[in-house]
């Protein structure tokens, strides 16, 4: 009877450890942020607006995916910090397609997607995207 009770306790403990491990890895996982920003015409950028995203890994790439992009000539996006200082290369922004850019963003800090229009774009517009300071 003691052996059965010990096995039950060991099984229960193993399950508890597994559940806690899954929970803690979820907290550390990278995520997408959804952002809607106004992008001015003629190559100007949106700056530090919209939602931020906290870098969760030490990886060197960021991810961008357009949800709506009404600009005729397209947009590019980059990560910026709260001072609007660039922290990644440009990535072309496409609707429903993820692109990546090299980043020098640091783990634990929050970054924003600075979306900018093409130099010859005659129109400003609202652009919606999801992005991550980590590779997705």
Number of domains making up the chain: 2
Same domain, 4 and 68: no
- The range of the structural domain enclosing residue 6 comes to 1-30
Give the phi and the psi of residue 71 in degrees, each rounded to 5.
-65, 135
Same domain, 55 and 117: yes
Q: Work out the burial of residue 104: count CB atoms within 10 Å of its CB; fewer than 13 is exposed, 13-18 middle, 19 or more buried.
A: exposed
pLDDT at 121: 95
pLDDT at 70: 86
Question: What does the alpha-carbon distance between residue 129 and residue 136 come to, in Å, rounded to a whole number?
Answer: 14
Which residues of the chain fall below pLDDT 50? 4, 9, 12-13, 16-27
pTM exceeding 0.85: no
pLDDT at 22: 42
């Amino acid at each position: 009877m003691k052996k059965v009770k010990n096995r039950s306790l060991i099984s229960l403990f193993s399950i508890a450890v597994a559940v806690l491990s899954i929970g803690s890895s979820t907290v550390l996982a990278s995520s997408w942020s959804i952002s809607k920003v106004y992008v001015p015409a003629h190559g100007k950028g949106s700056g530090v607006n919209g939602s931020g995203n906290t870098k969760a890994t030490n990886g060197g790439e960021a991810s961008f995916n357009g949800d709506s992009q009404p600009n005729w000539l397209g947009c590019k996006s980059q990560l910026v910090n709260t001072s609007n200082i660039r922290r990644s290369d440009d990535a072309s922004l496409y609707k429903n397609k993820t692109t990546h850019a090299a980043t020098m963003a640091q783990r634990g800090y929050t970054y924003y997607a600075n979306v900018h229009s093409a130099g010859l774009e005659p129109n400003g517009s609202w652009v919606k995207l999801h992005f991550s300071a980590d590779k997705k």
